[in-house]
Chain A
Amino acid sequence: MLRAIGKTTPLLMESILKKTLSLSACSPKRFVIKDHFDFDKKVINSDLPIIVNFHAEWCEPCKILTPKLTELLEDNPDIDLAIIDVDTNIDLVHLFEVSAVPSILAFRNGVVVDKFIGLVDANKIEELIEKLLRKKRI
């Protein structure tokens, strides 16, 4: 947060306000990524750890995992969720070498810290979330 003060813009102020207010409101932060610039802004430059979900509408396993992830992260103010539709974001698919959907990448401070492919079991999903939360406290 401190490093941002030098470049405080109205948008950033709004985001800081939202985060401090959201602790009481507990609003789910769920982004749908529109393009590469959107990705940089919301994922790479995210202050919180963020789970990125590569999703396709024509993929049945995705239709099961995406709602489950949303549900698990809904009341969690410490992790954000970004959804990337692979059909409209081919450049991001190539950039992260996503070979199959659903693909989940966990980001912290702009780098990938964990990932898994496919509709995995509930424990694996929870482990990923725990791992993201744990490292944050160090």
Chain B
Amino acid sequence: MVQIKARDKIPSVDLFEDSPANKINIADLCAGKKVVLFAVPGAFTPGCSKTHLPSYIQKESELKSSGINEIVCVSVNDPFVHAAWGNQFNTKGKIRMLADPNANFSKAVDLTIDLPPLGGLRSKRYSMVIENGIVKELNVEPDGTGLSCSLADKLKLK
């Protein structure tokens, strides 16, 4: 698999909302819309302010008023855990919590990372802007282990 990049089409993969019985095809969701999709290594894991659920909730109205139709949060977790994480932050109506339990989507875009402390193959931490199913922008956090915070900004300052 080659890592997805700008101008690529979002693959047609099913993600799961709230339970394994509720599948949402990500390509269908992105059709005709402007979507911000961000992914984290795991629900409830400690993170950094940039690509993390609380900061997207804060920016939600700002993003929606600037033309974003949907904000999607993906992680390789079972749908119950992923939904529960969303509920903790009251994401209903603001952010779509879509679980990728078998990492099918994460593998299809080649943005996986092996994280033994979390149990195995997980998604990398990244954010994407998708317009009508085409990736416009992709930002992958270069933190390597998933349970750390990148100092890329600090290093650039010098």
Q: What is A's interface to B at a CB cutoff of 8 Å?
A: 56, 58-64, 86-87, 90, 93-94, 98-103, 117-121
Contacts and interface: CB of A to CB of B under 8 A. Distances in A.
- Counting contact residues on chain B (CB < 8 A from A), the size range is 20 to 34
Q: Sort A-B residue pairs by CB-CB distance and give the 9 closest, nearest first.
A: A118-B145, A60-B46, A118-B148, A119-B147, A59-B149, A100-B148, A121-B117, A100-B143, A118-B147
Nearest to A99: B151
B26 to A, nearest CB: 28
Interface of B: 46-49, 116-117, 142-152, 154-155, 157-158
Contacts, number: 72
B149 A61 contact: yes
Chain B CB count within 10 A is highest, among A59, A63, A102, for A59
Contacts of A59: 48, 148-149
Given A58-B49, A60-B149, 20 more contacts: A58-B149, A61-B47, A86-B154, A90-B157, A90-B158, A93-B151, A93-B155, A94-B158, A99-B142, A99-B155, A100-B151, A101-B151, A102-B148, A117-B143, A117-B145, A118-B147, A119-B46, A119-B117, A119-B145, A120-B117
A63 B48 CA distance: 11
